[in-house]
Structure 1
Amino acid sequence: MSFLDRYFGITQSGSNVKTELIAGFTTFIAMLYIVPVSSSILSDSGMPKGALITAVTLATVVATLLSGIWAKVPVAMSVGMGLNAYFSYGMVQGMGLSWEKALGIVFLSGIIFLLVSLTKIRTWLINSIPRGLRFALAGGLGAFICAIGLKSLGIIAISPIGLPELGSLNTPQAWIGILGVGMILWMSVKKIHASFILGILCCSLIAWFFGLAPLPQEVFSMPDSIAPIALKFDVVGVLTLALIPTIVSLLVLDLFDSLGTLAGVGAKIGLFQNKDNQGDKLLEKTLEADAAATVIGASLGVSTTTSFLESASGVSAGGRTGLTSIFCALFFALSLFLFPIFASIPSFAIYPTLIVVGAMMFLEVKNIDFSDLPIGISAFFAIVLMPLTYSIANGLAGGFLVYILSCLALKQYQRINLGVIVLGILSILPIIVHGVFLKG
């Protein structure tokens, strides 16, 4: 028995090296879109796109290697889609933070997530948040990034009185974006694993052909340096009471994003099911890898990392062990040298991905019991406040506060546990300190 077989338990899991290689490549193809999409979104915070392309790829490689080597699971990790949007459009553009301070928040939330993952606080936090509110967070985040995609394409605009309205739709970029949304949706329905990257490439080809974006001058090159953004986070500048809800928001979102993804991927093969506590140990190690990757990612200059549901494509292709993740990470390492292509993809070819991903995330609201008044009304406020206020922290705060007030009004005191109280207090802190709701 080879070292790889002993370490990963390949034969025991019913797999082999060839199958793990194919599974790793399948996950890579399904996830490749994350490099151009994340770098484009994060560049809207003011960071240089070239350095971001390299940093996002490196963060994906490191995070996925941690998942494979430490947790030994076929789960790929990268910079979170919705969390990217919150970084650029919520924290930087919405709250007026510098990207250095936003990276500081990511770094701090990663450190806290790592500590939480190593203690019983993780279980306490998971059990404290009502189930319906967890799905509301996913739905609100989906609405948030979908709204960003629609606004960026010009499909929706802000009226003179400050309300959203239908955009002009008189630009070729808008119509290419609409076509991209249609293509990605069609391929997703057909369960084509590479639907996102294929949609981005099709939109880019149309833009290049009609001269709407410059053609890449070459296919391969050395990656750009990450020196302009690496280790540039400002931790001291974000140590204020007003920013505590934002740090908590990232922590909670990362935790439940990862848990939801891991539940979906693991359900296919019973990966995290309890087998003499082995399932719990795997889950703990995977969350530890996720948290460590967020800390490393912030050091590289990118936002919060998380587990990716696209890992399910690799699992469907037969991936059963951490070797799948290692092969996926190696393929991403090779993609570092595709820099000219990634750098030439126009932004309007990226935004359709945000719209479709947001719509898919919003589907989680189907799991909310709206007949339960405290859950239903708090979920509503959590969902609508995120896109309307351009802030995930506002939605999280609104959801918890309305939940507590609803339970008090109905005298359902037993539903208000210590975790909900703590999160509610953290949410209301800025009101007490500054007198303005979540002013950063």
Structure 2
Amino acid sequence: MNWTERVFKLQEHGTTVRTEVVAGLTTFLTMAYIIFVNPSILGDAGMPKDSVFVATCLIAALGTMIMAFYANYPIALAPGMGLNAYFAYVVVLHMGFTWQAALGAVFVSGCLFLLVTIFKLRELIIRGIPHSLRYAITVGIGLFLALIALKSAGIVAPSKATYVTLGDLHTPQAVLAVLGFFLIVVLDRLKVPGAILIGIVAVTIASFFFAGNEFKGIFSAPPSIAPTFLQLDIKAALAGGILNVILVFFLVELFDATGTLMGVAKRAGLLVPGKMDRLNKSLLADSAAIFAGSLLGTSSTTAYVESAAGVQAGGRTGLTALTVAVLFLACLFIAPLAGVVPAYATAPALFFVACLMLRELTELDWNETTEVVPAAVTALAMPFTYSIANGLAFGFITYAVLKLFTGQVRQVHWMVWVIGGVFLFKFIWLP
């Protein structure tokens, strides 16, 4: 038995080294944008962008590697979008805290997150999630991915009058994204191995000829991480005014990561009796990543919904995650090459995966409105509020209220009432 089989149990999961590596490369390409976007966002808060770039690559590699070896899950971790914006634009720029204090808040929330996981409170939360909401999480993540993809391709654009509207379909980016989508669907239907990866690479190559993309080289030396490493201010984070910030970080981390892990794991067929132990390990992996990320100098790390692209490409084990981790480490030296893949090249892959994730809607009992309506609220709120955590919050509250007023209290797991109450507290009393 070779090393990969012994560690990742490829045969047991019906996969191969080639499939896992292609899946890892696919996941990486769909989320590589974070190594450039995260430094830009945190840089607006006054953090040294070069150091944040290094911290982003290192924590993505470290967290994903823990996920690979400890949980054997095909899920990648990196600093979360939304959480980094809250860190920079709300906590630092709006509320006036230093970025060092904000990092301290991430550290404290990470410690709380770790304790909740170690004492298996997250397991209780997962057991308490109704089956209808579990299906809704997968569907909601699919809709969320669809919105991200359409926005990246320029097919959906902002509008003051209607919030969103149709973008300019005459741009090379939009045209290439549409052609890439059709290419992926056709190749997948013809069962061509690596269909999603082929689509991404094809659009990237075409972008040099039709969309003005420029090749900027391959290698570059990594900058120093010293300006952000261990620069967090825990004392300032424990000050009264920032306690609300810690709670917000904690709640979003808890439900955003949990929702993503459950949705992607279900899509991979891993959320079944007998394999839940791996999910529990994956919860600890992403908890440890938040803690470590704050020490390196970046905002909260979380599981990435883009991992669904790798799962669709066949990823079923930690070898997929290990491939992603190695590529993030390589980005410390090949950032110019990683940055050559435009967002509109990965958009077709994400939109294809999003379409397939909507099939979970067929699992719902459409005759029971107290199950279907909370599920629909969960799924719809995720893309419309641009937050997986918000979708879960609205879903839990809706589920609890409908069961309460239809005399079905005894059918509801006690954890639903606790979670619903926590979210109500968050929406009513927290800014």
Q: TM-score, normalised by structure 1?
A: 0.74
CA drift of 1:378 comes to: 1.1
Distance 1:165 1:325, change over 3 A: closer
Q: Which residue matches 2:303? A: 306
- Tell me how far apart the structure 1 counterparts of residues 212 and 34 of structure 2 sit (CA, whole Å): 21
> How far does the alpha carbon of each residue in 1:183-223 deviate from its partner, in whole angstroms, 9 at most, with x for none?
3333444555644443333222222223612222x223334
CA drift of 1:125 comes to: 1.0
**Alpha carbons 2:253, 2:302 under 8 Å: kept:** no
Q: Which residue matches 2:260? A: 257
Instruction: Work out whether 1:136 is the aligned partner of 2:126.
Output: no
- State how 1:277-356 maps to structure 2 within 5 Å: 281-300=277-296, 301=298, 303-306=300-303, 308=307, 310=310, 329-330=325-326, 333-334=329-330, 336-356=332-352
- Tell me how far apart the structure 2 counterparts of residues 378 and 297 of structure 1 sit (CA, whole Å): 34
- For residue 247 of structure 1, the aligned residue among 246, 250, 255 is 250
* SS at 1:150 equivalent: helix
- Tell me how far apart the structure 2 counterparts of residues 417 and 427 of structure 1 sit (CA, whole Å): 16
Name the amino acid aligned to 2:342.
P
Q: Which residue matches 2:164? A: 164
> How far does the alpha carbon of each residue in 1:266-289 deviate from its partner, in whole angstroms, 9 at most, with x for none?
65xxx9854xxxx55554334323
The size of the alignment, in residue pairs, is 411
- Tell me how far apart the structure 2 counterparts of residues 414 and 147 of structure 1 sit (CA, whole Å): 37
* SS at 2:303 equivalent: strand
- Tell me how far apart the structure 1 counterparts of residues 201 and 423 of structure 2 sit (CA, whole Å): 41
Q: Which residue matches 1:219? A: 218
- Tell me how far apart the structure 1 counterparts of residues 91 and 183 of structure 2 sit (CA, whole Å): 36
- For residue 408 of structure 1, the aligned residue among 394, 404, 407 is 404
**Alpha carbons 2:51, 2:227 under 8 Å: kept:** yes
Q: Which residue matches 2:96? A: none
Distance 1:343 1:302, change over 3 A: farther
Name the amino acid aligned to 1:352.
P
Instruction: Work out whether 1:59 is the aligned partner of 2:59.
Output: yes
> How far does the alpha carbon of each residue in 1:48-72 deviate from its partner, in whole angstroms, 9 at most, with x for none?
887666555433432343245444x
* SS at 1:164 equivalent: strand
**Alpha carbons 1:241, 1:433 under 8 Å: kept:** no
CA drift of 1:299 comes to: 4.3
- For residue 422 of structure 2, the aligned residue among 404, 423, 426 is 426
- Tell me how far apart the structure 2 counterparts of residues 161 and 11 of structure 1 sit (CA, whole Å): 54
- Tell me how far apart the structure 1 counterparts of residues 165 and 82 of structure 2 sit (CA, whole Å): 22
Distance 1:231 1:154, change over 3 A: farther
CA drift of 1:240 comes to: 4.4
- State how 1:357-376 maps to structure 2 within 5 Å: 357-376=353-372
Q: Which residue matches 2:77? A: 79
* SS at 1:305 equivalent: strand
> How far does the alpha carbon of each residue in 1:218-259 deviate from its partner, in whole angstroms, 9 at most, with x for none?
223334555576667787399444774663243123224324
- For residue 378 of structure 1, the aligned residue among 371, 374, 379 is 374
Distance 1:213 1:69, change over 3 A: closer
Q: Which moved more, 1:395-404 or 1:307-316?
A: 307-316
* SS at 1:45 equivalent: helix
Q: Which residue matches 1:437? A: none
**Alpha carbons 1:56, 1:79 under 8 Å: kept:** no
* SS at 1:168 equivalent: coil
**Alpha carbons 2:366, 2:372 under 8 Å: kept:** yes
Distance 1:60 1:303, change over 3 A: same
Q: Which residue matches 1:127? A: 127
* SS at 1:247 equivalent: helix
* SS at 2:157 equivalent: strand
Distance 1:432 1:149, change over 3 A: same
**Alpha carbons 2:76, 2:321 under 8 Å: kept:** no
Q: Which moved more, 1:101-110 or 1:382-391?
A: 101-110
Structure 2, gaps ≥5 residues long: 94-98
Distance 1:172 1:143, change over 3 A: same
Distance 1:377 1:126, change over 3 A: same
- Tell me how far apart the structure 1 counterparts of residues 104 and 114 of structure 2 sit (CA, whole Å): 15
- Tell me how far apart the structure 1 counterparts of residues 8 and 77 of structure 2 sit (CA, whole Å): 32
- Tell me how far apart the structure 2 counterparts of residues 132 and 186 of structure 1 sit (CA, whole Å): 32
Instruction: Work out whether 1:397 is the aligned partner of 2:397.
Output: no
Structure 1, gaps ≥5 residues long: 435-439
Q: Which residue matches 2:210? A: 210
Distance 1:141 1:170, change over 3 A: same
- Tell me how far apart the structure 2 counterparts of residues 423 and 313 of structure 1 sit (CA, whole Å): 34
CA drift of 1:406 comes to: 0.9
* SS at 1:33 equivalent: helix
- Tell me how far apart the structure 2 counterparts of residues 420 and 110 of structure 1 sit (CA, whole Å): 23
- Tell me how far apart the structure 2 counterparts of residues 324 and 299 of structure 1 sit (CA, whole Å): 26
Q: What percent of counterpart residues are identical?
A: 28
CA drift of 1:397 comes to: 2.4
CA drift of 1:376 comes to: 0.8
- Tell me how far apart the structure 1 counterparts of residues 10 and 169 of structure 2 sit (CA, whole Å): 53
Give the RMSD, CA atoms, in angstroms. 4.2
